[in-house]
A = this chain, B = another copy of it.
Amino acid sequence: MSVPLHFAVKTRLVGLLEELGEGAALPPERTLAKEFGVSRWTMRQAIRELIADGRLRARQGQGTFVATPKLIQPLALVSYTEALRAQGQKPGRELVAFEEIEADELLSEQLGIAVGDPVHRLERVLLADGQPIGLETTYMSVARFPTLRDVLKPEGSLYRCLTDELGVRFGEGEELVETVIATPREADLLKATQSLPMLLLHRTSRDTDGRPIEAVRSLYRGDRVGFRATLRP
């Protein structure tokens, strides 16, 4: 065999997906495996890849369904709320944690403070039309933003809060993008299948005076989200 069997199965499945519409249910894995004459493992490998590609969605106890196309988010210093509305999606957030921690070496460098200084740690699940698409963890200096806990509504826009209430003016920022496999905790919070590739973004942003504002770690579901950047020469 020249190509792996599970890839041939994947190719045949793509044809099946396109016949069925978006949202349609696939036959059960065991049935498909029998029909295709392969083991359940091989069938699952093919399905697993189609899930990672964003073509299928699996729900335990329910079945496997043809997925809707990925959302495209802007890679820019803009509000998540506005970006989602621009795509006709209803934005939402779920608070996971809002606590105070001590800066480690990396955070102290990113935020321009000393090791051990107090840091806000805000962890929220990002929702699009009620579906989790990302897990965002924001770190900000408590010394610089002492009133953050009082003025930020946990489900509200952090960017709007910073610009409107705290008078912050965003300057330049830097974003790193890579793929990783989510931990079980992260996959659970995102209601995503385990061991599937995610997009990990690391952002640091500064105000117009060059002072650090925030360090953000955002984990987005690789099967549901892509990003768009505008390039300048």
Beta-carbon contact of A178 and B70 below 8 Å:
yes
Question: Bound complex: CA of A198 vs CA of B177, how far in Å?
Answer: 12
Count of chain A residues with a beta carbon within 8 Å of a chain B beta carbon: 46
Nearest Cβ in chain B — how far from A24, in angstroms? 22
Per-residue interface assignment for chain A, residues 40 to 77, with 1 indicating a CB less than 8 Å from any chain B CB and 0 otherwise: 00000100010011100000000000000010100111
Contacts of A92 in B (CB 8 A): none
A75 and B231 form a contact (CB under 8 A): yes
CA distance A226 to B62 in the complex (A): 36
* Residue A3 lies at the interface, judged by CB distance under 8 Å to chain B: yes
Identify the stretch in A26-34, A97-105, A167-175 within 8 Å (CB) of chain B at 4 or more residues: A167-175
Nearest Cβ in chain B — how far from A136, in angstroms? Answer: 15
A181 at the binding interface (Cβ < 8 Å): yes
Q: Are B227 and A177 in contact (CB under 8 A)?
A: yes
Does B226 lie within 8 Å of A229, measured CB to CB?
Answer: no
Contact B232 A172 (CB under 8 A): yes
- Which chain B residues border A54 with CB–CB below 8 Å? 178
Whether, in the assembled complex, A15 has its beta carbon less than 8 Å from a beta carbon of chain B, the answer is no
What string of 1s and 0s marks CB contacts (under 8 Å) between A221-233 and chain B? 0110111111111
Contact at B222–A184, with CB atoms within 8 Å? Answer: no
Q: Is A179 an interface residue (CB 8 A)?
A: yes
Q: Once the chains are docked, how many angstroms separate the CA of A52 from the CA of B174?
A: 24
Name the distance in Å between A153's Cβ and chain B's nearest Cβ. Answer: 23
A70 to B54, CA, bound (A): 25
Question: Which A residues lie at the B interface, using CB under 8 A?
Answer: 3-4, 6-7, 45, 49, 52-54, 70, 72, 75-77, 170-181, 183-184, 194-195, 197-199, 203, 205, 222-223, 225-233
